[in-house]
Structure 1
Amino acid sequence: MTTHHAHAHSHSHGHGHEDIDWDELADQLERQARAQLGFLRETAAWLGPQLPSPQALARVLDIGSGPGAAAAVFAEAFPDAEVIAVDGTPGLLERAAARGVTTRLAELPGELDTLGTADLVWAARVVHHLGDQQAALNALAHRVRPGGLLAISEGGLPPRFLPRDIGIGRPGLQARLDVANEEWFTAMRAALPDAADIIEDWPAMLARAGLTPVATRSFLTELRPPLDDDARELIHGHLARSREVLADVLDPDDVHTLDALLDPDAPTGIRRRADAFYLTATTVHTARRE
Structure 2
Amino acid sequence: MHGYSHQHDHHHHLGQAEVLDLDAVVHRARLDDIVELVAAALHRPPRTIVDIGSGTGTGTVALARRFVDAELIAVDNDPRMLERVRNAAAEAGAATRIRTMEADLDDRWPDVGDVDLIWAALSLHHIADPDRLFRSARSALTSGGLLAAVEMDGLPRFLPDDIGLGRPGLESRCHALASGNGWNEHPNWTEYLHRAGFEVLEERRVDIDLDPAPDGTVEYATLMLERMRTGIGDRLDPDDRATLDRLLDPGDPAALRHRRDLSVRGSRTVWTARPTPSPTMEGSER
The one-letter code matched in structure 2 to 1:206 is L
| Residues 243-252 or 62-71, more deviating | 243-252
What does residue range 248-263 of structure 1 map to in structure 2 within 5 Å?
248-263=234-249
Corresponding residue for residue 114 of structure 1: 111
How many angstroms apart in 2 are the aligned matches of 1:65 and 1:232? 24
TM-score w.r.t. the length of structure 2 is: 0.85
The aligned counterpart of 1:126 is: 123
SS at match of 2:13: coil
Q: Report the count of equivalent residues.
A: 267
Q: 1:285 aligns with which of 271, 278, 284?
A: 271
Cα offsets for 1:228-251 (capped at 9, x unmatched): 4x2100000000000001122222
Pick one of 28, 42, 56 that aligns with 1:37: 28
Mapped partners of 1:240, 1:4: distance in 2 = 19
Structure 1's unaligned 5+ residue stretches are: 7-14, 190-198
1:145 and 1:289 in contact (8 A); partners too = no
Aligned to 1:217: 204
In structure 1, the partner of 2:95 is none
Aligned AA (1:81): A
Deviations 1:122-142 (A, max 9, x none): 111112112333333333333
Aligned to 2:93: none
- Partners in 1 of 2:37 and 2:227 — Cα distance? 32
Residue 238, structure 1, aligned to residue 238, structure 2:
no
How far residue 155 of structure 1 moved from its aligned partner, in angstroms, is: 4.4
- Per-residue deviation, residues 69-109 of structure 1 (Å, max 9, x unmatched): 11111111111111111112222212211222322221222
Q: How does 1:1-290 map to 2 (within 5 A)?
A: 4-5=2-3, 17=7, 21-54=12-45, 57-100=46-89, 101-185=98-182, 200-225=187-212, 228=215, 230-290=216-276
State the Cα distance separating 1:5 from its structure 2 match: 2.7
Instruction: State the one-letter code of the partner of 2:80.
Output: G
Of 65-74 and 99-108, deviating more is 99-108
For 2:133 and 2:80, the matched residues in 1 are separated by: 24
Give the structure-1-normalised TM-score. Answer: 0.84
SS of the aligned residue for 2:250 comes to: coil
Find the residue that maps to 1:42 and give its secondary structure: helix
* Alpha-carbon separation, structure 1, partners of 2:13 and 2:110: 23
State how far apart, in whole Å, the 2-side matches of 1:17 and 1:266 are.
Answer: 34
**2:202, 2:273 within 8 Å by CA — same for their partners in 1?**
yes
Q: Which residue number in structure 2 is paired with residue 192 of structure 1? A: none
Residues 167 and 16 of structure 1: is their aligned pair in 2 closer, same or farther, counting only changes over 3 Å?
farther
The one-letter code of the counterpart of 2:264 is Y
SS at match of 2:160: coil
